[in-house]
Amino acid sequence: MRILIFGGSGFLGRNLANYLSKSNHIVTIFDKRNTLKKNSKIKFIKGNILNFKKVLKASKKQDIIYNLAGISDIGDAMKDPIITSKVNILGSIHTLEASVLNKVRRYIFASSIYVLSRQGGFYKSSKQSIENFIDEYKKINNLKYTILRYGSVYGPDSDKRNGIKKLIISALKDKSITYGGTAKAERRFIHVNDAVKSSVKVLEKKFINKRVLITGNKSIKIKNLISEIKSILKINKKVIFKRKPMMGHYDKNPFNDYPKKQITFFVKPTISLKSGIVKIIDIL
């Protein structure tokens, strides 16, 4: 199939693009910059999702559109709600409208676990908004969709703001390891390779017009994760936890109520957490 990935140069996007390309799909990335290593099989279009003409042109003759574009850092979104709304909401509407006009077979949207959370700030609000727009595009234009709600994705080529990488960098460079949340914090981590495989599995027909939670199958306490990092690095550094959860982030449970109208992938890891941590350390 012909597949276009908006935001395909990001952490998840470039891994998804490579996986789809290896699976013999014709892949195009649309992004403001190209972070992929040379790959003659993947086409790159430089553009901004706020430019509707470019979005419309890029979407022509595409079978599937993945929208992974936008501001994904909760802190960045909190600092600038105006830019967040322009990029995450208006930009995504451009991709939805282009999908309808170009008769795309399915629109796949990268949402977040935070849409059902008490936390998430303006980032959460922007994702909730687009989920609502997607529902309306389905009603009005019969645009087939799949919404992906990602948990805590990690991997070696994530940026320095990624949770696990941030802890590893702190352990390697600082006199102590600081975690912005509490000692009770827990997460379900999922390696980017497993997140990508799940993101491709949803191309199956049974996931049309469904919401899918993609996350790890086991919850781990952050204090235990830090102990694992310390053990791998063979260091003995003081660990500092804040007394309150990080602003905009959940502590243990992201949900107000457990979501009933979504399919849940509690993904069994193909890469162990320890192996994943070692691979991150190896490239730092």
- Give the pLDDT score at 253: 58
Q: What average pLDDT is seen over the chain?
A: 90
Residue 270 burial (10 A CB sphere; 0-12, 13-18, 19+): exposed
Which domains, and CATH codes, for the chain? 2-283 (3.40.50.720)
- Give the pLDDT score at 245: 57
Predicted confidence (pLDDT) at residue 6 exceeds the cutoff of 60: yes
Residue type, 243: R
pLDDT in tens, 24-53: 999 999 999 888 777 778 999 999 999 999
- Give the pLDDT score at 175: 78
Token duo for residue 112: 């977040």
- Give the pLDDT score at 151: 87
pTM: 0.89
Rounded to whole angstroms, how far apart are CA atoms 192 and 19? 11
Rounded to whole angstroms, how far apart are CA atoms 154 and 145? 25
- Give the pLDDT score at 240: 84
